[in-house]
Amino acid sequence: MQKTPIITAKDVDVFYGAKQALDKITLDIPEHKVTSLIGPSGCGKTTFLRCINRMNDLVDICRVEGQIEIAGQDIYAPEVDVVALRAHVGMVFQKPNPFPKSIFDNVVYGPKIHGLVKTKDDMEEVVEWSLRKAGLWEEVKDRLTETATGLSGGQQQRLCIARAIAVKPKVILMDEPCSALDPIATAIIEELIDELRKKFTIIIVTHSMQQAARVSQRTAFFHMGNLVESGATKTLFTSPQDERTQNYITGRIG
């Protein structure tokens, strides 16, 4: 348990223009564990998640201060290349957003641009591996050349997960990956997350306390831009230290 964490955030402040969205967030994220971020809407979960692969760079008015280290490297250091960073920190968005290309092309895109595959055989291998891991292979193996936007919402989300793991990142960030899915598709993805954690480190934003309890080993509770409390999921849910956490998990705020 006392392994060095793979991600450490220290005093992270985020501003959108003059508005502060995150205030002095300090959080360690252990390797090969699922960490869930919970909290009421607008508390800054997505913002924090997007700091970890620097997607916030895309927002002109966004400013990030403080320090985030992944495997000992400061990712906001000037010598860091965001393209390389994002190759190691994959992201699955809240709304499934497959490319409007074939299923095959969707999965193989990342490995291709990062030069991980050369031959057709390599590509087929990585596509099958990723789709199997994402629990989608059996459903789509006969229609790899069909366009991905013809898949159901749950299938699209699993395709996005397959696409993210195809480059074999160290960390996968998931922003409410099940918010648009039915219970069966959700169950499939939760199983998948549990399976994926053997190879990857996963951070998941969720609004469902049950989901956080089911899939994660660690939980962090955010409230109005502050990190109120974090720790082992079981402890946090059974004996929260802070009153706000208590209120949130019992459904009194949020």
Partner 1 sequence: MTNTEVNFLKGQKHLTRRYRAEQRFQWMGRAAIAVSLTFLVFMVSSIFWQGKGALITTKIALTVDLSAEMIDPANIKGASFDKIIKLALRAEFPEATKRKQKKKLYALVSSDAGFQLRDQILENPALLGANQTIWVSASDDVDMLMKGHIDRDKPQSRRRLDDQQISWIDALSVKQVFNTGFFTNGDSREPELAGILSALVGSALSLLICFALSFPIGIMSAIYLEEFAKKGRWSDLIEININNLAAVPSIVFGLLGLSIFLNIFGLPRSSPLVGGMVLSLMTLPTIIIAARASLRAVPPSIREAALGMGASPVQATFHHVAPLALPGFLTGTIVGMAQALGETAPLLMIGMVAFIVDIPGSILEPATALPVQIFLWADSPERAFLEKTSAAIIALLVFLVLMNIIAIILRKKYEIRF
Ligand X SMILES: Nc1ncnc2c1ncn2[C@@H]1O[C@H](COP(=O)(O)OP(=O)(O)OP(=O)(O)O)[C@@H](O)[C@H]1O
Closer Cβ to ligand X, 45 or 168, answer by number: 45
Q: Are strands 19-29 and 201-205 parallel, antiparallel or unpaired?
A: unpaired
C-beta separation of 138 from 188 below 8 A: no
Shortest separation between residue 57's beta carbon and partner 1, angstroms:
9
**Nearest alpha-carbon partner for 218 in 27, 21, 54:** 27
Contacts of residue 47, Cβ cutoff 8 Å, sequence gap at least 6:
14, 21, 22, 56
**What is the distance, to the nearest Å, from the Cα of residue 71 to the centroid of all Cα atoms in its chain?**
17
N residues, the chain? 254
Interface with ligand X, residue 21, by CB under 6 A: yes
Total Cβ atoms within 10 A of residue 5: 19
One-letter amino acid identity for 188? Answer: I
Q: Residue 98 touches which of partner 1, ligand X, Mg ion, none (CB < 5 to 8 A by kind)?
A: partner 1
| Secondary structure of residue 98 in the 3-state scheme | coil
Among 17, 42, 100, 153, binds partner 1 (CB under 8 A): 100
Interface with Mg ion, residue 206, by CB under 5 A: no
The 206-245 contact track toward partner 1, x by CB under 8 A, reads ----------------------------------------
Among 164, 185, 203, 220, binds partner 1 (CB under 8 A): 164
Closer Cβ to ligand X, 106 or 186, answer by number: 186
Closer Cβ to ligand X, 61 or 113, answer by number: 61
**Nearest alpha-carbon partner for 158 in 125, 124, 113, 195:** 195
- Stretch 23-52 residues interacting with Mg ion (CB under 5 A): 46
Shortest separation between residue 109's beta carbon and partner 1, angstroms:
6
- Distance of alpha carbon 177 from alpha carbon 135, whole angstroms: 15
C-beta separation of 13 from 182 below 8 A: no
Closer Cβ to partner 1, 95 or 234, answer by number: 95
Interface with ligand X, residue 137, by CB under 6 A: no
Binding site for partner 1 (CB under 8 A): 53, 55, 58, 60, 83-87, 90-91, 93, 95, 97-100, 109-110, 113-114, 147, 149, 160, 163-164, 167
Binding site for ligand X (CB under 6 A): 16, 21, 39, 41-47, 59
